[in-house]
Amino acid sequence: MLVSQLIKSTLDIQGFRVSQVQGDTNAIIVDIVPDRRHSLFCSSCGSASRYRDTLSVRHFRHVPLWGIPVWLRYSPRRVRCEQCGIKVEYFPWSTGKQRFTTAFAHFLAAWARLLPWKHVAKLFDCSWGTVASAVDHMVEYGLAHRDLSDLTHIGIDEISREKGQVYLTNVYDLKTRKLVWSGEKRTKATLTNFFSSLGPDKTEKLEGICCDMWDPYIQVVRKNAPGATMVFDKFHIVRHLSEAVDQVRRDEIREKGKEHKELVKDTRYIWLKNPWNLTDKQASRLSALEKLNLKINRAYLLKESFRRFWSYKRRAWAKKFLDKWFWWATHSRLQPMRNFAWMLRRKEENILSYFKMPISNGSVEGLNNKAKMISHRAYGFRSAKNYIRNLYHCMAGLPEPKIMHKFV
């Protein structure tokens, strides 16, 4: 099969034809010329237009053949469109001012899901900026063509982008487990931008929103989606409880001094782990420590008793248990547990919403781990823009432009 036939079979050039192919092992140049039997179309509105003039030659990078770079060479024509004025004609193998074909963008972006952009650029002998532009092209197309009409349950969480409390706010679809939106920082303005981009019609369709107990998130959700049921994430609640238990351990060490520190040395995870996850050695040590009437043991028993809260099926029974547990915690003489109990009392309404709509950010935590892996694989991103662009590319399940041949 000739190279010209390969081009015709794998690249959309309707309205154009291959005039000649030349080159060697360093590069293959494919000359494209207009097919005079076809009309010219405006690149902006797609309507048939009249010829005006011809621009200078442009080169478009295409998918390499046997490791040899392939370039399409074409002189674009300008048209006089009745609606848009003077515009460059539409040619199907590329869009805008891109210097590569849509197929090559698809090719590079597919590899960019698997490797750092720097490695993809080196592998296919192009610049890092070319890979970034290819990913950007795919993400822009995907965001413009995705369908969010079925979005009803979302999870909101933040992820650390780098050291120094630099965050991104991520919004996930809890049903499909895909990224819906990502923005810089974790402020009221950030989450407000999400609801603005979603629009009032899609916001009204939201039935459940799961988030942590951070006040700026709560205020924005109540303002922008008052009709949705807001549920505080159970995993964040359990994390706060674990932090309270660990604070009891640290306070007790501080109170009782060096001798007690040696007694409870290396026991932090014994008190925080689930009982069924303890090793035999840890279970044996826990059994010995439970006989000493330690404050940390009281906190541990409160933590384990709270586990029962999530097993209830009815809101009324869960409320009754929560009231009882609140009394235990506030009379435990353990200040961190008292603080946690009062936090539950202040947020009680949205905590109990879980029993009306049992959604959680459990899957979101896994997706956040995937997001961190994406950053680690690239050895970090210097800008939030590139990080967000790659998160969309790898985690949003965006639709892709159609190409005639799948190269990866």
pLDDT in tens, 210-265: 988 888 889 999 999 999 999 998 888 999 999 999 999 888 888 888 777 777 78
Please report which confidence band the pLDDT of residue 185 belongs to, taking 50, 70 and 90 as the band edges.
Answer: confident
Would you say residue 383 has pLDDT above 80? no
160 backbone dihedrals φ, ψ, rounded to 5°: -75, 130
Per-residue confidence (pLDDT) for residue 172, from 0 to 100: 93
Asked whether residue 272 falls in the same domain as residue 202, the answer is no
Let me know if residue 125 belongs to a domain. no
Asked whether residue 351 falls in the same domain as residue 242, the answer is yes
Per-residue confidence (pLDDT) for residue 290, from 0 to 100: 80
Asked whether residue 172 falls in the same domain as residue 185, the answer is yes
Per-residue confidence (pLDDT) for residue 345, from 0 to 100: 94
Per-residue confidence (pLDDT) for residue 337, from 0 to 100: 94
Asked whether residue 85 falls in the same domain as residue 162, the answer is no
Among 81, 96, 111, give the residue marking a domain's end: 96
Would you say residue 81 has pLDDT above 90? no
Among 73, 96, 119, give the residue marking a domain's end: 96
Q: What tens digit of pLDDT does each residue of 10-22 get?
A: 888 888 888 888 8
Asked whether residue 7 falls in the same domain as residue 47, the answer is yes
Let me know if residue 228 belongs to a domain. yes
Asked whether residue 53 falls in the same domain as residue 79, the answer is yes
Residues 79, 11: Cα–Cα separation, whole Å: 23
Task: Please give the average per-residue pLDDT across 126-130, as a whole number.
Answer: 87
Residues 289, 185: Cα–Cα separation, whole Å: 43
Let me know if residue 392 belongs to a domain. no
Asked whether residue 366 falls in the same domain as residue 335, the answer is no
Asked whether residue 179 falls in the same domain as residue 284, the answer is no
Let me know if residue 172 belongs to a domain. yes
| Maximum Cα–Cα distance across the chain | 93
Residues 297, 95: Cα–Cα separation, whole Å: 66
* Total number of domains in the chain: 3
Per-residue confidence (pLDDT) for residue 273, from 0 to 100: 86
Report which of 162, 218, 155 is spatially closest to residue 185, judged by C-alpha positions.
162
- Mean pLDDT over the full length of the chain: 87
Let me know if residue 103 belongs to a domain. no
Per-residue confidence (pLDDT) for residue 165, from 0 to 100: 66
Would you say residue 6 has pLDDT above 60? yes
Residues 210, 225: Cα–Cα separation, whole Å: 12
Task: Please give the average per-residue pLDDT across 78-98, as a whole number.
Answer: 86
| SS3 of residue 170 by DSSP | strand
Please report which confidence band the pLDDT of residue 164 belongs to, taking 50, 70 and 90 as the band edges.
Answer: low
| Domain range for 174 | 153-233+360-377
Asked whether residue 15 falls in the same domain as residue 75, the answer is yes
Task: Please give the average per-residue pLDDT across 298-304, as a whole number.
Answer: 92
Asked whether residue 344 falls in the same domain as residue 369, the answer is no
Q: What tens digit of pLDDT does each residue of 36-51 get?
A: 888 888 888 888 888 8
Residues 234, 213: Cα–Cα separation, whole Å: 10
CA dihedral 286, 344, 190, 401 (to 10 degrees): 70
Let me know if residue 292 belongs to a domain. yes
Residues 15, 12: Cα–Cα separation, whole Å: 9
Residues 274, 278: Cα–Cα separation, whole Å: 7
Would you say residue 355 has pLDDT above 70? yes
Would you say residue 1 has pLDDT above 60? no
Per-residue confidence (pLDDT) for residue 336, from 0 to 100: 94
Per-residue confidence (pLDDT) for residue 293, from 0 to 100: 80
Residues found in the chain: 408
Q: What is the CATH number of the domain that holds 175?
A: 3.30.420.10
Let me know if residue 311 belongs to a domain. yes
Task: Please give the average per-residue pLDDT across 19-26, as a whole number.
Answer: 83
Task: Please give the average per-residue pLDDT across 53-81, as a whole number.
Answer: 88
Please report which confidence band the pLDDT of residue 324 belongs to, taking 50, 70 and 90 as the band edges.
Answer: very high
Asked whether residue 339 falls in the same domain as residue 294, the answer is yes
Asked whether residue 220 falls in the same domain as residue 314, the answer is no
Neighbouring-strand partners of residue 381: none
Element of type H or E holding 65 = strand 58-65
Q: How far apart are the first and last CA of the chain?
A: 21
Let me know if residue 138 belongs to a domain. no
Task: Please give the average per-residue pLDDT across 277-286, as a whole number.
Answer: 85
